[in-house]
Structure 1
Amino acid sequence: MINQYITALVTYGLKKGLIEEQDKIYTINQLLELFGLEELEETVTSKESDISLEQILNGMLDYAYEQGILKENSIVYRDLFDTKIMGLLVPKPSEVIKKFQALYKENPKKATDFYYTFSQDTDYIRRYRIARDIKWVTKTEYGDIDITINLSKPEKDPKAIAAAKHMKQSGYPKCLLCKENVGYSGRVNHPARQNHRIIPVQIYNQKWGFQYSPYVYYNEHCIVFNYDHTPMKIDKTAFGKLFDFVKQFPHYFVGSNADLPIVGGSILTHDHFQGGNYEFAMAKAPIEKYLSIKGYEKVRAGIVKWPMSVIRLQAESAELLIELGDYILCSWRNYTDEASFIYAYSDSDGNLLPADKTAESTSSEKLKLEPHNTITPIARKVGSFFELDLVLRNNVTTNEHPFGVYHPHDELHHIKKENIGLIEVMGLAVLPSRLKEEMEILKSYILSGKDISSNEMISKHKKWVEEFIPKYQDISEANIDLIIQDEIGLVFSRVLEHAGVYKRNREGQEAFLRFINYLNESHMK
């Protein structure tokens, strides 16, 4: 069968344009060497194109394990080896870059269309795994929110975890975003990337890289990252970089995670943005209250109808938005409103500083304090206007809320406990894979009337179920899946409300306007 799989893979490479006809014999010989074979035997089979890439690779991996080429038959080791296989079909970085740049001269969208398809055809984005993700849309008062249960990102197996502990610690590549990942063979604690290619882009006179996320949580989910391994920082320059990218790729939005723990992303050590060709619920949400910010009358500004605290800025000039965005960010960094439990800083002992103490602190003194206020920014082009959404964030913790005051609270952890990053902020829930099995068990318990608390795996959902069951007159096999999905979506809506620094009640919105007044008063000083 290995001969059939080699023939099928080469046929796949030709069909997808990864190799040319002149590369066929060379590629076959590379694969023969990889599998310890001296020649390719003639096989009489059905058309090789009828075999899916997943079937081809699984067949090759099974053969490699049977022959002792693949030492461990677990997901981590199989992923390392099948990436090595695919790497034999992927053109050199220079060839991919030249093609992208040639298409870009015609049209930026043509270039990204090519590169996105290429990233899937090379199996860098594993289409067949992404298809397993469970996705649906829940209608909420804030619009249609996207929900995803992530099943495409494999969990490490115990053997790989144990092996990683005994491995020599490596700092190469420094992280998953570094340019050194291109062509890297990987190890048990770092994925293989022989099939990975990066497109260089110039962002604000700096060399950056452009690639797609291998887990594509939404259409054309891309990552733009600094070529240097440098920490994330939200500042005026960051706003400039966001709009520089939007100008080059106007069909994409781009945003950044916040730059503080708890409210930031999972990789704060490497400056990067995320973007793509997708319109999130937050982008569709309307401005519910227009604002006037002194000195920036040419900018249309307003508070967005969204569970989190969002200021939207719109103007034909991106430079105006950069200037106003920086002014709002700097003001927010130092803003304390004790009545709303918003504190800009705490001291070295963890004591939250009141407004007067913050005001008395010099710039050098503030550098020694622990900052709590930051912003999650998102930039896009809408018609002839540029837009900048500024999501106000605060990472203060208390004994009652050790994971964060503006973080999903304990009663929602049965659905979502993890940090609320850029993707969630915009209205796409990325929920843990455990929920797939838990919801299946929960469904059977609800339909049978069994005691949920009797099952350790789902007992944490008991209170939640007791809250939503009375809403429905009839729950049956026909509607139970939709009911559970809708209720999960509504929980995520509450998750975003918890993450909002200004609540969606009268007191919260009045406090939001106090900050806007602070912006106007500060500008007059």
Structure 2
Amino acid sequence: MIYQLIQQLIDRVITAGLIEKQDEIYARNQVLSLLHLTEFREKEADCCEIPEDIPSILERIVAYACEQGMIEDYLDEKEILASKIMNCFVARPSEVNRLFFEKYQQSPKAATEYFYELSKNSNYIQMKRIQKNIQYKVPTEYGELDITINLSKPEKDPKNIACEREAKQTAYPKCLLCVENEGYAGRIGHPARSNHRMIRLNLLNKTWFLQYSPYMYYNEHCIVLSEQHTEMKITPDSFRRILEFVEQFPHYFLGSNADLPIVGGSILSHDHYQGGNYEFAMAKAEADWTFELTGFPAVQCSVVKWPMSVIRLRSKDTGSLVTAGTHILDKWRNYRDVSLGILAWSGGTPHNTVTPIARKKGEFFELDLVLRNNRTSEEHPLGIFHPHADVHHIKKENIGLIEVMGLAVLPARLKEELVEVENYILGREANVADYHLEWAEQLKACYGAAAAEENSKKIVREEVGKKFLRVLEDAGVFKRDEAGRAGFKRFIDKL
């Protein structure tokens, strides 16, 4: 069967446009070498064809390698081989970049569509695993929030984890985002990237790199990363850079995690942004109220109707947005409102920063600045403006760029745990986790009489959405109550 599987894989990658028919024998020989095969046997004429997608065929080939003892049967080894096999069908970075910018001459969208399809077909974007995610929308007064229960990242077995502990440590690549990951075979504890490619971009006259996230949370989820391994910092150049990017790719948005712990993302050691071809609920949200910013007549200013504290700047001129955004950032860095628990500094430790997001709508550029503060207290040791303890059973992790815009990335444990909550509401035998029990009792008291088999899942999903809304409200520095609105207006007056 291995020869048939190799041929099936080659047929699929030709159909997908990764290689051309004249590359077939060369590519086949490369795969044979990786599998320690010294010949190729043509499939029998009466062989039953099994139509399969590229990831499924790849899994079967890797399983063969495990059965033959070529590799150990655990995740990292299998990922490394799969990545090497697919690399046999992917052009070198120079050719990928040449084709990208050739298509860019047609349109920016044509260029990103080419690169996106390449990244999927090469199995760099793990589409088969991403399809396992549970995704749905929940209507709220702020629009439809996106909910994702993340099931796409495979769990490592104890053998794999033990090997990671024993593996020799190395600082190459320095992190998961560094450009040195392009084409890197991978090792125990570091993901395989043989089939990984990046696009070279010029942003503010420096080289930056465009890639897609291997585990996308939304359409065309991309990452734009610095050539240098430097820490994330929100500066006026951050605003210039994300606006220049959306000027080059007007169908994409681009934003940054905040640059402080707690309110920042998972990787603060490498300067990068995230973007894509998707419109989040926050982008659709309308103005709650508008104001004029003295000295910036070309900029339209508003506070967005959103559970977090968002200032939206709109202008046809990106330069005006940068200077207005810098003015707001400078004021916010040192702003304090003791009555609302907002302190800019504790000794020499800063607390205030922003999560910036840029997009283009028609002739106008938009720059959203989400005000963030990472103070902690005895009552809220993980963060005052962070999910509070009563929602930790659903979401405890940092609220980064993706959550800020209205997409909850929730832990895989919820898949099974929420089924038990449904059973509890329906009065069935249920093994509800201790941390869900109080919530489950509240839901049963509220819905128990009306809950039925056909609507219990819908009830629980909507209630998870309400919990995520609470998460966003907790993260807002100016609450959407009378005191919070008054406090927000005091800050605007300072501007």
Q: TM-score, normalized by length of structure 1?
A: 0.92
- 1:357 is matched with none
Aligned residue identity for 1:210:
L
Other-structure match for 1:517:
493
Partner of 1:302: 302
Q: Give the gaps of 5 or more residues in structure 2.
A: none
Letter aligned with residue 51 of structure 2: D
Aligned residues of 2:210 and 2:223 also touching (Cα < 8 A): yes
Q: Deviations along 1:150-174, whole A, 9 cap, x unmatched?
A: 1111233222222112222111111
CA RMSD, Structure 1 to Structure 2 (Å)? 1.3
Is the 1:83–1:193 contact (alpha carbons within 8 Å) kept by the matching residues of 2?
yes
Q: Deviations over 1:358-384 (max 9, x none)?
A: xxxxxxxxxxx1000000000000111
**Is 1:496–2:457 an aligned residue pair?**
no
1:431 and 1:383 map into 2 onto residues whose CA distance is 34
Query: 303-312 or 464-473: which moved more?
Result: 464-473
Aligned length: 493
Deviation at 1:411, TM superposition (A): 0.6
Q: In structure 2, what is the Cα distance between the partners aligned to 1:62 and 1:449?
A: 40
Matched, 1:427 2:406: yes
Q: Which residue of 2 aligns with 1:465?
A: 440
Alignment of 1:412-451 (within 5 A): 412-450=391-429
Where 2:231 maps in the other structure, the secondary structure is coil
Matches within 5 A, 1:223-302: 223-302=223-302
Give the Cα–Cα distance (whole angstroms) in 2 for the partners of residues 22 and 429 of structure 1.
46
Q: Which residue of 1 aligns with 2:98?
A: 98
Residue 55, structure 1, aligned to residue 56, structure 2: yes
Question: Hey, what's the Cα distance between the residues in 2 that align with 1:25 and 1:18?
Answer: 14
Which residue of the partner structure matches residue 358 of structure 1? none
Residue 175 (structure 2) pairs with residue 175 (structure 1)? yes
Change (3 A) 1:47 1:323: farther
Stretches of 4+ moved more than 6 A in 1? none
Change in CA separation of 1:502 and 1:205 when aligned onto 2, cut-off 3 Å: same
Superposed CA offset, 1:24-76 (max 9, x none): 111111111111112111222657571222331121111111111012x2233
Structure 1 residue identity aligned to 2:472: L
Corresponding letter in the other structure for 2:436: H
Q: Deviations over 1:213-232 (max 9, x none)?
A: 01110001000011111111
Please name the residue that 2:461 is paired with.
Answer: 485
**Counterpart-to-counterpart distance in 1, 2:47 and 2:384:** 60
What is the CA–CA distance in structure 2 between the aligned matches of 1:42 and 1:298, rounded to whole Å?
Answer: 69
- 1:462: how far off? 1.4
Aligned AA (1:216) = M
Distance 1:81 1:444 in 2: 42
Other structure's SS at 1:106 match = coil
| Cα deviations by residue, 1:102-139 (Å, 9 ceiling, x for unpaired) | 00011100000111011000000121111111000001
Alignment equivalent of 2:378, drawn from 376, 392, 399: 399
Matched-pair contact (CA < 8 Å) for 1:263–1:395: yes
| Matched position secondary structure for 2:105 | helix
State the AA in 1 paired with 2:293.
I
Secondary structure of residue in 1 paired with 2:379: coil
Instruction: Give the Cα–Cα distance (whole angstroms) in 1 for the partners of residues 427 and 146 of structure 2.
Output: 29
Distance in 2 between residues matched to 1:163 and 1:405, nearest whole Å: 39
User: What is the 5 A alignment of 1:48-447?
Assistant: 50-71=51-72, 73-347=73-347, 369-447=348-426
CA distance in 2, matches of 1:446, 1:492: 20
Matches of 2:294 and 2:433 in 1, distance apart? Answer: 53
**What fraction of aligned residue pairs are identical, expressed as a percent?**
52
Relative to structure 2, which stretch is displaced further, 290-299 or 306-315?
A: 290-299
8 Å Cα contact 1:11/1:48 also seen in 2 = no
| 1-structure distance, mates of 2:274, 2:154 | 21
Per the alignment, in what secondary structure is the counterpart of residue 288 of structure 1? strand
- Give the distance between the partners of 1:37 and 1:199, measured in 2 at CA: 34
Alpha-carbon contact 1:142-1:285 (below 8 Å) kept: yes
Alignment of 1:29-44 (within 5 A): 29-44=29-44
Q: 1:7 to 1:48 in 2, by over 3 A?
A: farther
Cα separation, 2, equivalents of 1:57 and 1:88? 13
**Is the Cα–Cα contact under 8 Å of residues 75 and 160 in structure 2 kept in the other structure?**
no
Q: Is the 8 A contact 2:231 2:268 kept in 1?
A: yes
Q: Residue type matched to 1:50 in 2?
A: P
Q: Is the 8 A contact 1:100 1:114 kept in 2?
A: yes
Q: Is the 8 A contact 2:424 2:444 kept in 1?
A: no
CA contact (8 A) 1:376 1:393 kept: yes
**In the alignment, residue 343 of structure 1 is paired with which amino acid?**
L
Work out whether residues 7 and 48 of structure 1, in 8 Å CA contact, stay in contact via their aligned partners in 2: no
State the Cα deviation string for residues 324-382 of structure 1 (Å, max 9, x = none): 000000100001111111000001xxxxxxxxxxxxxxxxxxxxx10000000000001
Output the TM-score relative to the length of structure 2. Answer: 0.97
Cα 1:109–1:466 change in 2 (3 A) is same
Offset at 1:399? 1.3
CA separation of 1:293 and 1:166: change in aligned 2, threshold 3 A: same
Instruction: Report if aligned partners of 2:13, 2:54 keep a CA contact under 8 Å in 1.
Output: no
Residue 522 of structure 1: aligned partner: none
Q: Distance in 1 between matches of 2:233 and 2:402?
A: 18
Which amino acid letter does the alignment assign opposite residue 2 of structure 1? I
321-330 or 164-173, which deviates more: 164-173
> Using the alignment, how far apart are the partners of 2:240 and 2:49 within structure 1?
50
CA distance in 2, matches of 1:310, 1:442: 34
